[in-house]
Amino acid sequence: MDFKLIIFDFDGTLADTFPSFVRVFDRAADRYGFKRLDRERQGDLRGLDARQIMAHHDIPLWKVPAIARFMRVRMADDIANIKLFAGIGQALRDLHARGVVLTVVTSNSPGNVRAVLGPELLALFTHVECGASLFGKAAKVRKVLAATGIARQHAMLIGDEIRDAKAAADAGVDFGAVAWGFNHVDALIARHPRHVFRQVAELAGGAPRLRQG
């Protein structure tokens, strides 16, 4: 099957934001009164979904929007330390050169995405949907599908979290799991992804060339 549209998650998929996330998470914990990141169980946390992580750190759902806004702003202060994973730029160029429509759906802010991607790579994306709520990515995916006019059976969401897999299922698109992000790859495999990308270089190879004519 040919994927005509690839919808990328940003944090943990394109950009190595985890070190910044840890710093900002602890600042948010102090401000909003929940537990700091449990570093002793960091490996275990990689197997949990977002709701389980919230429960472990005593984060009530009603506080999530304010916490998310705070973290996006604080992450912007740390933007100089956030880089793309090695090889991402070339993978994006290869996919674009092959005619694949590239988009981004993320909880992060437009300014952070622009700053990390830079103008050259940003120009490869036809749509960048930012500010998705913690459990609102499926709606953003459906918005991208409507905007591009590409049928969901020709689209794949590529991400690093269990919630990305859930968003893909809710929106009716295939899911591609990356092995270098937050959730452990085994936890993502349990969600039955269409593809598992264990190295960045595999991203371009994971989307077959489009048929001609």
Q: Where are the alpha helices (DSSP H) in the chain?
A: 18-32, 42-45, 50-56, 64-77, 88-97, 110-122, 137-148, 162-171, 185-189, 202-205
| Both structure tokens of 195 | 């593809």
**Predicted local confidence at residue 104, as pLDDT:** 97
Q: Domains in the chain and their CATH numbers?
A: 5-16+83-205 (3.40.50.1000), 18-81 (no CATH)
The lowest-confidence range among 34-48, 68-82, 147-161 is 34-48
Tokens 């500010």 correspond to 131
Any residues with CB less than 8 A from the CB of 133 and at least 6 apart, and which? 64, 65, 68, 107
| SS3 (DSSP) at 199 | coil
Mean pLDDT of 62-79: 89
Q: Is the pLDDT of residue 36 over 60?
A: yes
**Predicted local confidence at residue 179, as pLDDT:** 95
What's the rounded Cα separation, in Å, for the pair 63 and 38? 19
**Predicted local confidence at residue 132, as pLDDT:** 84
What's the rounded Cα separation, in Å, for the pair 5 and 154? 6
**Predicted local confidence at residue 186, as pLDDT:** 94
Question: Sorting pLDDT into bands at 50, 70 and 90, what band is 212?
Answer: very low
Q: Tell me how far CA of residue 204 lies from CA of 55, 127, 168, 213, in angstroms.
A: 37, 19, 19, 21
Q: What is the pLDDT of residues 125-181, one digit of tens each?
A: 999 999 888 788 999 999 999 999 999 999 999 999 999 999 999 999 999 999 999
Check: pTM over 0.95? Answer yes or no. no
What's the rounded Cα separation, in Å, for the pair 11 and 48? 17
Q: What is the pLDDT of residues 97-128, one digit of tens each?
A: 999 999 999 999 999 999 999 999 999 999 99
